[in-house]
Amino acid sequence: MDVLKDLFDEKILKIISLFIENPSKRYFLSDVANSTQVNITTTFRILNKLAEKGFLKTAVIGKVRFYQLDYNDKTKELMKLLRKEEDPIEKFISSVSEHPRVKKIILESKDSNNAKLILVGGFLPEEKINRIINTIKENSGFKINYVGLSEEQYIKLREFKDYGLDKKVIWEKKDQ
């Protein structure tokens, strides 16, 4: 990271590091500016540039714009470059999302040692998922519990009661 500070603008690195350290968290402009101690207008310019280049995804709720790390090939490479240790949930997502039957991953709850996830898809590879979970637990001590739902069950659950499931989606297969 110190070598990168000599090559790149330190303000950009501070902002990128904030998002990489908390990849599932959504920030609004003033949160990022306060956390990184970067001027708000500079922060705005950097966030828009990162979103334009595909490193961040944005969501507008009312008049407020939120920013979140867009977990894609670009950000994976950036994480490797910055040599940040990957979050256990991010390791889980990158491993499980490779399976073609997994359509969505929903974060139900998380604390410092545990996470509860909902996996949406048909005929999920339970053995493979359990191996991934056990590997993560052995390496980091982080425990992941999950429940698998078919796409039909997910849709009916959304219709039955508003649990805010769509707001908790942390990964979704892109339509191809």
Find the CATH number of the domain harbouring 135.
3.30.460
**63 and 23 within one domain:** yes
Confidence of residue 175 (pLDDT cuts 50, 70, 90): low
Confidence of residue 91 (pLDDT cuts 50, 70, 90): confident
Q: Which of 36, 69, 102 is the last residue of a domain?
A: 69
pLDDT digit string, tens, across residues 56-85: 999 888 888 999 988 788 887 777 677 555
Enumerate the β-bridge partners of residue 41: none
- Phi then psi for 24, rounded to 5 degrees? -95, -5
- Phi then psi for 122, rounded to 5 degrees? -95, 140
Domain that holds residue 20: 2-69
Residue 3 has what pLDDT?
56
pLDDT of 176 strictly over 50: no
Residue 17 has what pLDDT?
86
Domains of the chain: total: 2
In a domain, 145, yes or no: yes
pLDDT digit string, tens, across residues 143-167: 999 999 999 998 888 888 777 777 8
In a domain, 80, yes or no: no
**126 and 155 within one domain:** yes
Q: Which of 42, 69, 96 is the last residue of a domain?
A: 69
**166 and 118 within one domain:** yes
In a domain, 20, yes or no: yes
Residue 85 has what pLDDT?
58
**92 and 164 within one domain:** yes
Walk across the sheet containing 114-121 and list its strands: 143-149, 114-121, 102-110, 169-172
- Which is higher by pLDDT, 86 or 116? 116
Residue 147 has what pLDDT?
94
Check: pTM over 0.75? Answer yes or no.
Answer: no
**160 and 118 within one domain:** yes
In a domain, 33, yes or no: yes
**Which of 29-43, 44-58, 60-74 is predicted with the least confidence, judged by mean pLDDT?**
60-74
Enumerate the β-bridge partners of residue 61: 64
Read off the pLDDT of each residue in 4-9 and give the average, rounded to a whole number. 67
Q: State the residue for tokens 């999950």.
A: 146
**65 and 21 within one domain:** yes
**98 and 161 within one domain:** yes
Read off the pLDDT of each residue in 87-102 and give the average, rounded to a whole number. 88
**Pick from 70, 169, 175: which is nearest to 120 by CA?**
169
